[in-house]
Amino acid sequence: MSDETRTVITFTSTAFNTTEERAYFINPGCFGDDVAKWLIGELQKRGLTTCAEPGQEDFGWYLSFRLASTSHTFVVGYRADDATWIGWIERTRGFVLSILGARKHGIDPAVAEALHTILTDFPEIKTVRWHFKSDFDKGLEERGASTPTSPK
C-alpha cells in the first residue's frame, strides 16, 4: 500500500436504510446491507469479480472483490451519532496473516480509486472524505481529503 493512499472513507447519504431494523441484523443498528449489495452491483457493472452476497459484522457489512489478481474487502457501517457512513478497504488475507496485520498492507491504490468513482458518481452520496487509517483511528477526521490518493 502506498503511504499516499487513504483507505478509510466517510460519506453521508439518505439513499440507504438507517432506520428500519431487520430481523437478520446481528446487533441493533447493524445497517449497511443495502449499501454493500448496491456496491456489489456497481463493482460487477465495471467488470470486477465480487462475492454473491455481503457478509455481516457486529457493526455493519462487508463485501469482497478482485481487482486484477488481488482480492480486497470493503467494510461498511453506519455511525448514527452524526449520520455518517464509514467504510474501509482491507486486503483479503487468511486467518494467520490477518492476525499479523496483513489486511492493512498491500492495498492497491486502484481499489480506492474504483470505490471513489462509484461513490462520487452516485448523486445521493454526499460529503465524501478519505482518511488515513492512523488519523481516523486517532479521531483526526478533519485531516480527511476529497480523494483517496494524494496529488503527485
Q: Given pLDDT bands bounded at 50, 70 and 90, which one contains residue 17? A: very high
- For 41, 42, 106, the CA distances from 110, given in Å and listed in that order, are 18, 15, 11
Q: Other C-beta atoms within 10 Å of 104: how many?
A: 16
| pLDDT, tens digit (0-9, with 9 covering 90-100), for 73-103 | 999 999 999 999 999 998 665 544 445 444 4
DSSP assignments along 32-76, one per residue? -HHHHHHHHHHHHHTT-EE-SS-EE-SSEEEEEEEETTEEEEEEE
Q: Are 112 and 6 in contact (CB under 8 A)?
A: yes
| pLDDT, tens digit (0-9, with 9 covering 90-100), for 97-123 | 445 444 465 577 888 999 999 999 999
Which pLDDT does position 1 carry in this prediction?
40
Which pLDDT does position 4 carry in this prediction?
72
| pLDDT, tens digit (0-9, with 9 covering 90-100), for 45-83 | 999 999 999 999 999 999 999 887 788 899 999 999 999
Q: Other C-beta atoms within 10 Å of 24: how many?
A: 8
Q: Where are the domains of the chain?
A: 8-143
**Residue 99, phi then psi, degrees to nearest 5:** -60, -35
Tell me the mean pLDDT in the region 18-44: 96
Which pLDDT does position 71 carry in this prediction?
85
Q: What does pTM read for this prediction? A: 0.87
Q: Other C-beta atoms within 10 Å of 123: how many?
A: 8
Tell me the mean pLDDT in the region 5-22: 95
